[in-house]
Structure formats: structure tokens, C-alpha cells
Structure 1
Amino acid sequence: MVSIEEFRKLAMSFPDATEEPHFEKISFRIKKKIFATFDEKNNQAVLKLNEIDQSVFCASSEKIFYEIPNKWGKQGWTIVELSRVRPEMFEDALIRSYENVVTKKK
């Protein structure tokens, strides 16, 4: 299980990360681009993974990680059930999400 405090601490530990509101959610951004959001109502994170990482995380833990069921999911946006995920696994996924957004070609 990952709490919002743990999520926030990890997300804000990345260079140049900021926390900003995003509709009814909290977003974590790098250079104005979202790499993660937190949905407090559902205790879920949404991460921006690349196609390979999304496939690996979803296949290994389908009740914890799953693609958003719309066009956003096809672009790598992946839901994470924070009440079920191991902290180490979440940290790995969040790092990959951050790196995916930082290194994305413009």
C-alpha cells in the first residue's frame, strides 16, 4: 500500500517536479507535463508509461496496474491501485513514468 504522503514525497523528489491541481485530482509535473496524478476519491494513481512498460506492469499485476479503458490508455496512461501496490513496485513505475515524460522527444 502507498499513501498520498509517500506518493507525494517520491514524486517531488524528482528534479524540477511540481505539484499542481488537475481538475479534481492532484498532478505531478515536469516542465508543465504531467507524469502522474492522484485521485483521492478512488485512492488511485495514473502514470504515463511507454507501451512496453505499460504492458509489463499490467501483465504482471493486472489487479494493481491496468490501462485506462479509452484512448488515453492507448497512449500509455495507466491506473495504479494504491491500496494494493507494493511500495517498491510503485516506486519503479513512478520512476519510469517520470523518465518517459522527461525523455519524450518534442
Structure 2
Amino acid sequence: MFLSQKTRIPFVFFSEDQANAFSDSARRLLTWAGEEYTDCCYKFARECISRIEAPGHKIPLDDAETLLALLGHCCLTTNTPEPAHTLWSQCVRILSQRICELTREAA
């Protein structure tokens, strides 16, 4: 079956300050990743963070949701609950706010 209309991919946009705060927390959280955190998870997370840092500060919604899950997994696999939990909370707060605003704009 072919789609007659183009499918629009929703993007999550960040201000420069939000992008910097999110990427700082996410990158620091990745430094605490435990041995259970696989290389493919690490690489994808780093790639997504780099896209958020890039000009335009955006990431597809599906990738943002996957990144949030990967960072949560990173937080759970570390042997040091703090500061990993605090960093994870900061990432959740920023990304959740951006996703919430995206869904409000779409309505």
C-alpha cells in the first residue's frame, strides 16, 4: 500500500539553553554507564545528543523517546545511584517539557 500524502515526522526542538543543559546532563550520565550498557546503546545515545547540540537543536520525536529510555537504562545499570539519578531526572525534566509542548502545538 502506498501513502498518497507525505507523512510528517514530528521533531522535538530545544532552545540553545535547553540543548546545552540536556546534553551536559546526558553526557555526564553516559560517563556513569555500567557494564550492562551496550556499545550500540551508547553510540545511539551519543548520536542523538549530538543532533540536539547541532544547529537547529532538534531530534525526531521517536528518537527522543528512544533516547529517554536509553538514558533511563543507563541510570539503572550504573553502580553509583548518585549523581546518575540526579542527571537522569534533569534529562527527563527537559525532554518531557519539550515533548509536552510539542503535543500541545499539534493539538
Bin of the TM-score, shorter chain as denominator length: 0.3 to 0.5
* TM-score normalised over the length of structure 2: 0.37
* Structure possessing the higher radius of gyration over alpha carbons: 2
Higher relative contact order (CA 8 A, sep 6+): 2
Choose between structure 1 and 2: higher strand proportion: 1
